[in-house]
Structure formats: structure tokens, C-alpha cells
Amino acid sequence: MSTTDGYLPGRLERDYIESIGQPPQPALLAIEVAAIPDGVPILDRAGGRVLAALAANRRRIVEVGTAFGYSTLWMALAQPAGGTIVTLDPDRSRTDQARGWWRQAGIPDAQIQVINRPALEAFAATPPEAGLDGPFDLVFIDALKHEYEAYLAALRPRLAPGALIVADNVLWSGAVADPASTRTGAAELRAFNTAVLADPGLVATILPVGDGLLVATVRA
């Protein structure tokens, strides 16, 4: 329990945590800078640190939504030797830039496979898209908010027992917690959160990190 009633961590605490953490790899800092003028959405840095901690022992990772490859790089840097990531994003111009930053960070090309197709199209492909057969031991979702439930439904049969499911933006800047909000995507994210936290095959919670980070473990 909290030592002080009503205590909530704020900027002071976040700055303290950042001050004692390992400095971000220069390529991560470069992506943070590059994302600002183009308005490219990337994971909050605190979320990146959480994602890295979760990816540390995960050998086969699938990511829905690459953008500039920021979250991809946090996971790749944390993975054990021989680990692989397959990441999906239809925007080749962004993923080509991402590959440059991954190389700058010393990540071998073979560690990260990029699929430049809409995720649901790739999941439904016949024959199956190479690299998407699984089993995966971590999935990270950060793409079209109204498709989160469909992404997870497509990936669920490809997850290993004990796999982790992580999804970003699940609080949507407060819109999800406000039933009166009409922000695009809020209702779909609310339904996604409710379904995951109520699923008997999962143990799940939402961390108030960044824009909300949902974390769930597939029961063995």
C-alpha cells in the first residue's frame, strides 16, 4: 500500500527514474528527434524502457506498427542472442529509415524482418506470409486503434504458452477512461481493454505509463 494517502508519482519521480536508468542508445535519441518535425507517433521513452525489460528473454517477437522503428529498437537491443523480430507496417519509406537507425545501433539485418503490408492483410494471407507462422513469445501492438481486437484475434493462435501481449495507447490521453469521449478510436480501445482484462486465458493489467500500456500474459 502507499505510504502516503493520495500519493501519485509525477514529473519529479519520472525524472528520478530516468536519471538512474541506462542512457538511451544514440540511435534511439536520433529517432526521438526525427519523429518530432514529421509528427510520427512513437512510443513514450518510459514505455520503451518497460518494453525492453519485457523483451529481455523473448526470442521471437512480432510487432504490429513499425513507424520509425523506435519500439522495435528498444526490443531488439534487449533481446537475447539469436532473438528475432518481425514487424509489420505498410509505409516502406518509414521502415527504410528505421532500418538505417537499427544498423546505426549495431542490430544485424537478420534480427529484424520487415513486412510492408497492412497487418490484417498479412495475417490473412494464403499461403501464410513468411515469418508470421509463430509461435511468438511476445507481441507488441501499436498501430490502427480500431483494429487492436482484430490484430490480437489473428495473433492469438500464433502465441506460445506464457507469451506476453503488450499494447500501447490504451488510455488514449484520457479518452478511454471518459465514457463521454467521442475521440476517434476511444470506443474501440475501451472494448479492447475490457475484452483482454476479462479474458480467462490471460492475466492482464494496464500500466499508467505514457499513453497507457496494456500488459498481459497468456496462461500456460
- ω into 127 cis (within 30 of 0): yes
Mean pLDDT computed over 6-16 = 89
The chain-wide mean pLDDT, for the chain, equals 95
Q: 11-218 belongs to which homologous superfamily? A: Vaccinia Virus protein VP39 (3.40.50.150)
More confident: 216 or 6: 216
Residue-level pLDDT at 9 = 86
Q: How confident is the model at residue 38 (pLDDT cuts 50, 70, 90)?
A: confident
Against a cut of 0.85, is the pTM above it?
yes
Residue-level pLDDT at 112 = 98
Mean pLDDT computed over 23-46 = 95
Phi first, then psi, for residue 213 (nearest 5°) are: -120, 110
Residue-level pLDDT at 5 = 72
In a 13 Å sphere around the CA of 48, the CA atoms on its Cβ side amount to 22
Mean pLDDT computed over 5-15 = 87
Separation between Cα atoms, residue 150 and residue 189, nearest integer Å = 12
pLDDT in tens, 168-207: 999 999 999 999 999 999 999 999 999 999 999 999 999 9
pLDDT in tens, 115-166: 999 999 999 999 889 999 999 999 999 999 999 999 999 999 999 999 999 9
Q: How confident is the model at residue 2 (pLDDT cuts 50, 70, 90)?
A: low
pLDDT for residue 1 is more than 60: no
pLDDT for residue 49 is more than 60: yes
Residue-level pLDDT at 55 = 98
pLDDT for residue 109 is more than 90: yes
What percent of the chain shows pLDDT beyond 70? 98
Q: How confident is the model at residue 3 (pLDDT cuts 50, 70, 90)?
A: low
Separation between Cα atoms, residue 29 and residue 127, nearest integer Å = 39
User: Is the backbone of residue 116 left (phi > 0), alpha (psi -120 to 50) or beta?
Assistant: beta
